[in-house]
Structure 1
Amino acid sequence: MELQYFGANCLRVATKKAQIVIDDNLDKLGLTSITKPTDITLHTFAGQRAKGSRFVADMPGEYEISGAVIHGIAAQSHMNEKGKQGAVIYTISADDIKIAVLGHINPELTEEQLEQIGVVDIAVIPVGNSGYTLDAIGALKLIKQIEPKVVIPTHYADKAIHYEVPQVELAEAIKGLAMEPSETIVKYKPKTLELTDSTRLVILERQ
């Protein structure tokens, strides 16, 4: 498995048999869409579908495709009223690794949601704040509830990205998380033997 970051909340997860693209709304933010016709695309928020992929998911459900098991879990959006479900959490299981993609959600997860998420190796969490998405405090709440082995932050300030609402700088978000990055890399290739019980912060440079 290999993970690459393309800005905002967009990542590409490459497994042995599949190419999975998450939250590709890059063309709306001043960048270029990365989605290809052979990709599987997942969207944590309705209304941001990228065109041209072979499989699209933007709602809760269970999917098994090209060796990847994908579980979409209904969640309350960060901006929605309590009890109103407008977002989707995804878990992706492939190549003996499990990823949770959390999106712009309320950080107070229910027991049912936590049970559906289960044991996670990698959590992808937005940290941009400014009322648009999670701040460091909200991100920490999720980390403590899910207890992933690796945290990858997304959706922070970037001069190349035209966010609707300005996002905080990554350095400020990291300070709020009270975690030191274990590494800053272009591509992350998780190995099961290297995943320990203590949570590590991995920074992926935007492609």
Structure 2
Amino acid sequence: MDVQFYGANCVVVNYKGTRVVIDDTLDELGAKSVLKPGDLALYSGPHGASKVEVKLVVDRPGEYEMGDVSVHGVAAQAHIDEKGTKAVTMFKVTAGDVNLLFTGNIYPNISEAQLEDIGKVDVLFVPVGGNGYTLDPIGALKVIKEVEPKMVVPLHYADPALNFPMPQQDLEVAVKELSMEVSQTVPKLKFKVGDFAEGMHLVVLEKAN
């Protein structure tokens, strides 16, 4: 499995010929979409119509499979929604016994029932840009402590190439507020279940070209 980051909350997972694209709303932010025909497109929140004929679009809770990849969507409260509403979806993507969780722009309060539904998480992809638009580092840290992953990858921080509705924090500032040391910075994540070291590690995934 390999994983690449394209800015905002957009991440692409490749596994045994299956390509899963999470939260590609890049064209709404002034950049080019990375979707390709045949992709499995996951959207944690509101999104526009795709200009590419993907194989499947998933934007709600439920169980889904494509190739050797399984997806479990869990309803959650959006960061800007009122308490009790569940307008967004967290996605757990499982490939080769590695469990990835993409929170999207959730409110930082995952319930015990949601945690039980999600189950084991190896890698947590969580936004940190804040400013009322998505999780800030304090909210992200709360989610990290709730989920207890083996690896944390920060998403959705300041990017001069993207036109966010609200300014986002710089990655360096967000990492400092997380009070976690970056264990490594990589252009692409490649791993299998046995690759995870003891403890919890913060890994910065460089933006792909």
TM-score of the two chains, using structure 1 as the length reference: 0.97
What is the identity, as a one-letter code, of the residue corresponding to 2:40? I
> Shift of the alpha carbon at 1:105?
0.3
The equivalences for 1:35-54 within 5 A come to: 35-51=35-51, 52-54=53-55
Q: Aligned pairs, how many?
A: 207
Q: Deviations over 1:124-171 (max 9, x none)?
A: 000000000001111111111111001110000011111110000000
What is the identity, as a one-letter code, of the residue corresponding to 2:105? H
Q: Residue 14 in 1 paired to residue 14 in 2?
A: yes
Q: Does the CA contact (< 8 Å) of 2:21 and 2:40 recur in 1? A: yes
**SS where residue 6 of structure 2 aligns?**
strand
**SS where residue 146 of structure 2 aligns?**
helix
User: d(CA) in 2 for partners of 1:79 and 1:137?
Assistant: 16
Q: Does the CA contact (< 8 Å) of 1:24 and 1:49 recur in 2? A: no
Give 2:195's aligned residue.
Answer: 194
Q: Does the CA contact (< 8 Å) of 1:21 and 1:40 recur in 2? A: yes
TM-score of the two chains, using structure 2 as the length reference: 0.96
User: d(CA) in 2 for partners of 1:12 and 1:47?
Assistant: 17
Choose 176-185 or 72-81, whichever is displaced more.
Answer: 176-185
Q: Which runs of 5+ in 2 are unaligned?
A: none
Q: Does the CA contact (< 8 Å) of 1:16 and 1:95 recur in 2? A: no
Identity %: 45
RMSD: 1.0
User: d(CA) in 2 for partners of 1:163 and 1:145?
Assistant: 28
Q: Does the CA contact (< 8 Å) of 1:25 and 1:49 recur in 2? A: no
> Shift of the alpha carbon at 1:28?
1.0
User: d(CA) in 1 for partners of 2:28 and 2:137?
Assistant: 25
Give 2:114's aligned residue.
Answer: 113
